Chains A and B, each alone.
Chain A
Amino acid sequence: MRLFRVTRLFSPQFPQELATDIPAIDSYLQQIEQELPGRKALRCQMLEEVRDHLLEHHSQLVASGESSDLAAEQVTTQFGDPIQYGRTLRRDKLIKFAKIFSISTLAFIAITLFMGWSYTPTEYPLVETPGFWTRLFVPMLNAPLFALLMSYTMSFVVVKAKPDPKSASHVYVDRKKKYAALYIVLYMSALAVIAILGIFNIGMFRNMHPLVSAAFAILSVLTVYWNRIPWNSYDLKDDTLIVRSVFRETQIPLVQIISIKVKRYWIDRFSGLDSRSLMIQWRTSTGQVQRLQLPLNDSMHNADRLQAKLYSALEHPQ
């Protein structure tokens, strides 16, 4: 059974941008690619590293006097079995999918059962309440579907933003993704208002327990707050990090940074974009210690490079 092929259904072709014009290397890359799951852009990203390796090794051999064909044969043989390598890459993705699917299925079941319970009138014992069994089983059926959609997107659709060759030290999010975040902000803001009204037994949430409405309100407000991140942008100059957020602009001289720690919040686990926050601590010229949280994720161009450069700045202060 090669079920992973379902994930390639809409774009099964080999990504042409990976073609090297060296037949043996192209054929080798195609053999690996046949074993990979996900949409074309994701498969392309998974293959970039091996392509770079093969071409670098090939150039080295050609420079030492080997013919191009012989060098290509040699580098592909040396790399190892392409099918096996493709399967290893695929297994990583499938493990990620299985993990997210099982966690999110349980989470969705818990949320929907909790909501069902909160609607239950208190005058009946729980299992004798009209509609109890429906409320128990419908979420059991729906939850895996929601979870499947979520884990599929996070494992086989989402790709890292490419590094920007024009401005390698500028970290930003594309306009398209800003619109997507704006949609979530509007949707969750509306849900927050409905949930807050529900606390006072008004509107759609009036039959819910006030504590459940409050929990929804908090969750919605937090999601809105978190979705401000696409409007952040960061610039790493020679000696300064400039952080622009919706609320303010902060300049941090690199020599003043005393520590950088990575923190992952619960919401980061569900974004599928390797979201994390860098907790930066620095000492100002007056001796005051300040802290700033720098949210980063893979939809930001140059985000991982900024993190590496900040680590380097901390290791080798100038």
Chain B
Amino acid sequence: MKTDNEQILKGLLDTLVLNVLTQGENYGFGIREALHQQLGADADVVKEATLYPLLHRLERRELLISYRQPGERGTPRKYYKITDLGRSYLRTKTAEWRKVASLLERTIFTNKD
């Protein structure tokens, strides 16, 4: 059961990351912290080794842009910012998830106590 839940959340991860970035530009650890706060008990699904490749993939698709700023620890810090394309992708994905949620609401959730 836990594995199924993880699979669903992983499918949602790109939407969740883009959603975090609508609240403002953020860096890798900051995004992870925001996701952990939102996901609560399911936070373990967001492994760092999954998060960074996902951010790089979203950047290649031009849904995000990144920039580096001089950091306090000797190396620059990389920030991510959602683009207009990213916002429009997020809107589409949110509408799709809403449809799924509504479908479940009308079928499985109403039929079972």
Can you report 29 A-B residue pairs in the complex whose CB atoms are below 8 A from each other?
Answer: A48-B78, A49-B52, A50-B48, A50-B52, A51-B73, A52-B27, A52-B28, A52-B73, A52-B77, A52-B78, A53-B28, A53-B32, A53-B52, A55-B73, A56-B29, A79-B48, A80-B48, A80-B49, A89-B53, A92-B53, A163-B69, A164-B70, A168-B69, A304-B65, A304-B68, A308-B67, A308-B79, A308-B81, A311-B65
Whether B74 contacts A57 by the Cβ 8 Å rule is no
Q: Taking the complex as formed, is A81 at the interface, i.e. its CB lies under 8 A from any CB of chain B?
A: yes
List, in ascending order, chain A residues with CB within 8 A of B70's CB. Answer: 163-165, 168
Produce 1/0 per residue, A52-74, CB < 8 A to B. Answer: 11011100000000000000000
Within 8 A of A (CB), among B46-85: 47-50, 52-53, 56, 62, 65-71, 73-79, 81, 83
Candidate in A50, A81, A304 with the most chain B CB atoms within 10 angstroms = A304
List, in ascending order, chain A residues with CB within 8 A of B65's CB. Answer: 304, 307-308, 311
Whether A311 contacts B83 by the Cβ 8 Å rule is yes
Kindly provide the distance from the CB of B32 to the nearest chain A CB, expressed in whole angstroms: 8
Q: Taking the complex as formed, is B25 at the interface, i.e. its CB lies under 8 A from any CB of chain A?
A: yes
Q: How far is the CA of A45 from the CA of B27 in the complex (A)?
A: 15
Kindly provide the distance from the CB of B78 to the nearest chain A CB, expressed in whole angstroms: 5
Interface of B is mostly: mixed
Number of interface residues of A (CB under 8 A): 33
Q: Which residues of B contact A (CB under 8 A)?
A: 25, 27-29, 32, 47-50, 52-53, 56, 62, 65-71, 73-79, 81, 83
Within 8 A of B (CB), among A293-318: 304-305, 307-308, 311-312
Q: How far is the CA of A311 from the CA of B78 in the complex (A)?
A: 17
Q: Taking the complex as formed, is A17 at the interface, i.e. its CB lies under 8 A from any CB of chain B?
A: yes
Whether A160 contacts B68 by the Cβ 8 Å rule is yes
Q: How far is the CA of A268 from the CA of B65 in the complex (A)?
A: 17
Whether B29 contacts A17 by the Cβ 8 Å rule is no
List of 10 A-B pairs having minimum Cβ-Cβ separation, nearest first: A80-B49, A304-B67, A165-B70, A305-B67, A48-B75, A56-B29, A79-B48, A85-B49, A308-B67, A308-B81
Whether B28 contacts A84 by the Cβ 8 Å rule is no
- Additional A-B contact list (16), CB under 8 Å, known A308-B79, A308-B81: A17-B75, A48-B78, A50-B48, A50-B52, A51-B75, A52-B27, A53-B32, A57-B29, A79-B47, A81-B49, A160-B68, A163-B68, A304-B65, A304-B66, A307-B65, A307-B67
Whether B47 contacts A80 by the Cβ 8 Å rule is yes
Q: For B60, give the chain A residue with the smallest CB separation.
A: A92
Kindly provide the distance from the CB of A30 to the nearest chain B CB, expressed in whole angstroms: 16
List, in ascending order, chain A residues with CB within 8 A of B32's CB. Answer: 53
Whether A17 contacts B49 by the Cβ 8 Å rule is no
Q: How far is the CA of A84 from the CA of B65 in the complex (A)?
A: 25
Q: Taking the complex as formed, is A244 at the interface, i.e. its CB lies under 8 A from any CB of chain B?
A: no
Q: How far is the CA of A18 from the CA of B73 in the complex (A)?
A: 10
Whether A88 contacts B47 by the Cβ 8 Å rule is no
Whether A92 contacts B49 by the Cβ 8 Å rule is no
Kindly provide the distance from the CB of A29 to the nearest chain B CB, expressed in whole angstroms: 11
